[in-house]
Amino acid sequence: MELGRAIDGYIDAVLSSSRLSTRTLTAYASDLEALHRYCSSRDVTDTGQIDLELLRDWLWSDAQQGHAPATLARHRAAVRGFGEWLRDTGRTAANPAARLRAPSPGRSLPHLVRSERIADAAAALRDASAQGDHRAGRDLCVLELLYATGMRVSELVSLDVDGVNLDELTVRVTGKGDKERVIPFGVPARTATIDYVTRDRPALLGNRPSRATTAALVLGVRGERVNARTVYRIVNGLFPEAGGPAGAGPHTLRHSTATHLLDGGADLRNVQEFLGHSSLGTTQIYTHVSAERLAASYRQAHPRA
C-alpha cells in the first residue's frame, strides 16, 4: 500500500476510535509525516518496504538533528502504533517497528564494535571451529561476511551459495527495492567462507536428502536457511557489551564497517555505494561518528585539550 495513503488511513482510524487525545494524535500525525518525508528521500514509497533497519536509520537521523530524547521516544511510539495498525489490517505480515528502540540520551550516534574486538571474536571462533565445532565455523563465516561487506542482515539471510564469488572476492546481494549490488570482501572472509562451505555447511545439512540441494549459504542447526533472529543472536552473543541495553546486532557491524572505512580514508560516495544507500545523507551520519571518535581521542591524549 502506498505509504502516504496508509498513514492517512491510520490517522483516520485512530481519530474515529478516540483512543488518543487530540494533542497526541496531532503530534503522531506530524511524526509520521516526517517519516514519510524520510522514506521518500530513500525511495521508499510502499508500506511493504518499511523494515526495522529503515526505522532505526530514521531515528538515528532525527537524533543527529538534535531532537530531544523525549521527542525520539514519541517518534518511536507513533511508528509502533502505525506498525500495529499495518499488521492488524493485513497490510504487513508483522509490525516492522515491534523491536524498535529509541536512542538513549547522550548515545545518539550508532554503536560500534572496535576492530580489535572483532579480531578477537574471530580468533575465538576460528579456534572452536578447528576443534570441530561446526556452529562456530558457521558463526565465523557470518561475522567475517557481515563485517567485510557491511551488508544488511536481510541481504545475508537471503544470500545463496552461488552469490559468493570466492575467486574474485565479491558477493552479489539483493538490497532494498530489489536492487542488486556487488560488494568486495577480503581474504579473512574468503578463508572463513571456504572453511564453512567445505566443512561446516555439509555437517549442518546432515542426512537430510530433501534439503541437500538447498541454495542457502548460511544454514541453521536443522539444515534450514538461517533467519534474521538467529543472526541477531549470533552477533549479540559475540559482542554483548556493544549496542546499549539491547546488545549488539548485525546493524552494529554495518555501522562499524562504514565508520572504519571512513576512518581509513574511504571516499564518502564510495561508502554510500558500498552500503547500498540511496541517499548520501544517510551515509553522512558516519562522518559524525568518525569526527566524534577523533574528538574523544583528542580530549584524552592532547595535553591542552
Known catalytic residues are 152, 176, 251, 254, 277, 286
Rg, C-alpha atoms of the chain: 21
Within 10 Å of residue 178's Cβ, how many Cβ atoms?
7
| CA pseudo-torsion sign 31, 36, 38, 46 | positive
Residue found under cell 580514508 = 265
Give the three cell numbers for residue 5. Answer: 495513503
Helix (H) or strand (E) holding 83, with range, is: helix 69-88
Compute the 3-state secondary structure of the chain and give helix, strand, coil in percent, each to the nearest 5: 65, 5, 30
Taking every pair of C-alpha atoms in the chain, what is the biggest distance, in angstroms? 68
Indicate the SS3 state at residue 294.
helix
* Beta-bridge mates of residue 165: 170
